[in-house]
Amino acid sequence: MERIAYQLLTARSSENGGFRSKLAQTRILVAAIHPRDSFEQEKLEVLQGAMEFLESPVRERSQAAIQVLEQLASGTERFVIRLSRPA
């Protein structure tokens, strides 16, 4: 998940475009991931949520998605607890 988040951030900040293409490719890749455990499943769900918000016309949502991707890319895993849905 960390590598995917990093690649999305890199593609988003790239000057040569191609972000939408990278996002489409990433969606296909993410759909094929089968988490090993519940923690990996939570990280996958966080990644998917961030990907949905990246293209949001609401600036705050896209900024929040970038922050989550930055945390995921850096290996900071405590955000998973803060962003998980209540049972």
Largest CA distance in the chain: 42
Q: Is the pLDDT of residue 10 over 50?
A: yes
**Residue 84 confidence (pLDDT) above 50:** no
Those residues whose C-beta lies under 8 Å from the C-beta of residue 68, and which sit 6 or more positions away, are 46, 49, 50, 79, 83
Give the whole-number percent of the chain exceeding pLDDT 70. Answer: 85
Mean model confidence pLDDT for the chain? 84
- pTM for the full predicted model: 0.77
pLDDT for the residue 53: 92
How far is CA 82 from its chain centroid? 15
For residue 61, what are the CA distances in angstroms to 1, 35, 40, 53, 67?
A: 20, 26, 23, 6, 10
**pLDDT at residue 1 in the model:** 82
pLDDT range class, residue 30, cuts 50, 70, 90: very high
